[in-house]
């Protein structure tokens, strides 16, 4: 029985999470040749302040990225996206 754990920062809609659960379950069943009824997906949502990116709280990094994207869309500066 495949058991898959997905850790996400909170903020996604229930519909998006449900879609992800379906697609992850289908991928696991197909790639592992397991009946989909045996696939389990556990989703852990966590607040951004409890997760770190590059030694900094994700909430801070995400706020900086939003500000940079906003400034770019206003034509003020050019933002560079970092993996996270």
Annotated catalytic residues are 2
Phi and psi at 34, nearest 5°, equal -115, 145
Cα–Cα distance between 80 and 18 in angstroms, integer?
31
3-state secondary structure of 56: strand
Distance, CA of 31 to CA of 74 (rounded, Å): 45
Place of tokens 């992850």: 24
């Amino acid at each position: 029985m495949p058991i898959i754990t997905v850790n996400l920062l909170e903020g996604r809609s229930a519909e998006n999470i449900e879609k992800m659960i379906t697609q992850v379950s289908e991928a696991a069943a197909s790639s592992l040749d397991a009946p989909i009824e045996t696939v389990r997906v556990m989703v852990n949502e966590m607040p951004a302040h409890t997760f770190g990116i590059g030694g900094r709280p994700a909430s801070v990094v995400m706020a900086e990225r939003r500000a940079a994207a906003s400034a770019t869309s206003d034509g003020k500066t050019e933002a560079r996206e970092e993996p996270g």
